[in-house]
A and B are shown apart, each in its own frame.
Chain A
Amino acid sequence: MNPEEVAVLAIGVYLVLLVAVAEAARRARVDRSPDDHFLAGRHLGAFVLFFTLYATSYSGNSLLGYPGEAYRRGYLWIMATGFMMAVTVVFHLLVPRMRPIAIARGFVTPGDWIRDRFDGDRGAGALRIAVAILMTIALANYLLAQLTAMGVVASEATGGRIPYSLGVVGLAGMILFYETLGGMRAVAWTDAVQGALMIGGLALMMGWLLRETGGLGGVTQQVAALRPDAVQVPDARSCANWASTVLLLGFGSVVYPQAIQRVFAARSARALRRALGAMSFMPLVTTTVVAMIGVAAIPKLQALGVVEADSVMPRLLGTWAAEGFLAVGVATLIFVGALAAIMSTADSVILSLGSLVAADLLGRARHDPATTRAGKRLAVGIMLAMVAVALLPRTTLWRLIELKMELLIQCVPSFLLALYWGRLRAPAALLGLAVGTAMAGGAALADIKRIAGVHVGLLGLASNVAVCAVFTWFTPRRVEGHSWDAYS
């Protein structure tokens, strides 16, 4: 059996395992309420919560996009460890305040927060819809990145036996199947399997690369000889970009709908604390390893000439698999681990998208089983639309992440500022959101990515917050009491 046939077989075994997990999750279902389908009845314990947060955070971007960026930018990409860790740091601002309110009031989607927090304000409905639209666009973009990555991995791992288009369509169908069958419970359980595969696969791959290239010192010397820019101390513009990326990803990821929903879904505050505490270390054992793999690929893939950024990881694995039967086995495990990571993110995104569109955009009742059905149907529709887009020519995975974050980060004031500043009202938040989004969206259309190394989305956020502050400053305080005045 050749390596490509082994990969096809391994993918088949993995998909059968997913079906079994999904069926177990369906049997564990308590009822058909949105609470049970979208939040697993709010019973996720620390262990499953940790793995689902891990597998959701580390996606196709992490395993395909990040090695590609490290290959292009060299050691500067160590910034990825910082920005992935920043997510659990910035969560300190959100979780302790939002979690108790969410539980007391039965929130299911991020829009429930907007509805509740700005209740009675003029423009509250428009703000909820605007936030939901931004989140939907950002998540659809994220889903597109995962579908693209699924197609690349399936095609590269099997030497084209599973073509890119079949990889996208077939794996998207599988995700829809188990997500529809078991909801958040199936997603979280499959995430646990997928997370374990990902950690194991990355550790094995790093070990192989270090052995091949003579350890870290050997890698650095070889890279320095081939690409001196890849080891150089970054200049001022690159340092500004490093800091800007940490802030963009740190703050942007906090308002990921699927991350917020996991905060709602935790079984207890203690489980959430333990899971988030443990997540602090995961960038060191995942993102750092992935970045090192990308740098180590510079001497390894030199002979292949120009390599597309997103193909660095599959090319490396292909090179490894050519070394013998044992290498084929381990490389296949890593391919399946990569596929697992991508699918685990895609399933969380599609689950969140279904609930977001059904409850926040279409205004369906959040505790009505009809909302669950609508969410499932919408998830299918969105998935089909994104599959169609994924089959068209694409941009790099990293650029898709940047675009998503630059829009998503504009929702931050409606969550973080609103949690800490009782005077903030819906009109100010809506105006700020409009200004920030116009800046970020306009710059993207004009193909302006950064100004002096700083992401335009971050500058949009600064304008967004400034508009919120100025508008609120000139708006007289409401005379009557408001429950949120406690935050002033």
Chain B
Amino acid sequence: MRSKPAVASYTSRVPNHNPTRTVPGAANKRRRVRFLLLLGVVALYGISVPWYRSADQPLRLWLGLPDWVTTALLCYLGAAGLNFVAWHLTEIPEPEADRDRASGPEA
């Protein structure tokens, strides 16, 4: 059987390739914030579906759209913002090959 490079260091919960992330407290805080942001995304998805509204309610316009549509769109706008920040806080450990390539030319 061929030998595999170890992966534990790539997937461990405290990657420290970036010097700005070497302080465990700071790394933990980033992870906590990211987790809360993603929880926020899930909550907004829950609100976007109008399961809590009665289907026979009369049409009410809000910003030119039925109010349940505007609510859904605002939820998605919020979710996009939170998801954007969450991606910027996401730690994707970089193996050596990855970091070497990052300094090379783009395709």
A232 to B100, CA, bound (A): 55
CB-CB contacts below 8 Å: A178-196 with B: 184-185, 188
Establish whether residues B5 and A103, one from each chain, have CB atoms under 8 Å apart when the complex forms.
no
Which positions in A face B, CB cutoff 8 Å?
28, 40-45, 48, 75, 78-79, 81-82, 85-86, 88-89, 92, 95-97, 99-101, 103-105, 116, 119-120, 184-185, 188, 215-221, 224, 228, 231-236, 239, 242-243, 246, 265, 267-274, 276-278, 280-281, 283-284, 288, 483, 486-487
CB distance from A84 to the nearest CB of B (A): 9
From A271, which residue of chain B is reached at the shortest CB distance? Answer: B102
Given A85-B79, A100-B11, A231-B66, 13 more contacts at CB 8 Å? A79-B49, A88-B87, A97-B11, A100-B7, A103-B95, A216-B64, A233-B57, A234-B68, A243-B49, A243-B51, A271-B102, A280-B81, A486-B11
Pair B98/A43 contact, Cβ less than 8 Å = no
Asked if residues B7 and A268 are in contact (CB atoms below 8 Å), the reply is no
Question: Do the beta carbons of A220 and B101 come within 8 Å of each other?
Answer: no
Do residues A232 and B10 form an inter-chain contact, with CB atoms below 8 A? no
* A-side contacts of B86, CB under 8 Å: 92
Residues of B within 8 A of A (CB): 1, 4-8, 10-11, 38, 41, 45, 48-51, 53-57, 59, 61, 63-66, 68-69, 72-73, 76-77, 79-81, 83-88, 90-95, 97-99, 101-102, 104-107
Contact A88 B83 (CB under 8 A): yes
| Known contacts A95-B90, A276-B87, A281-B80; A104/B106 CB under 8 A | no
CA distance A234 to B67 in the complex (A): 12
A81 with B76, Cβ < 8 A, contacts A243-B49, A483-B7 known: yes
Chain B residues with CB below 8 A from A217, complex form: 61, 64
Q: Given A78-B73, A95-B92, do A236 and B101 touch, yes or no (CB 8 Å)?
A: no
In the complex, residue of chain A having the shortest beta-carbon distance to the beta carbon of B50: A233
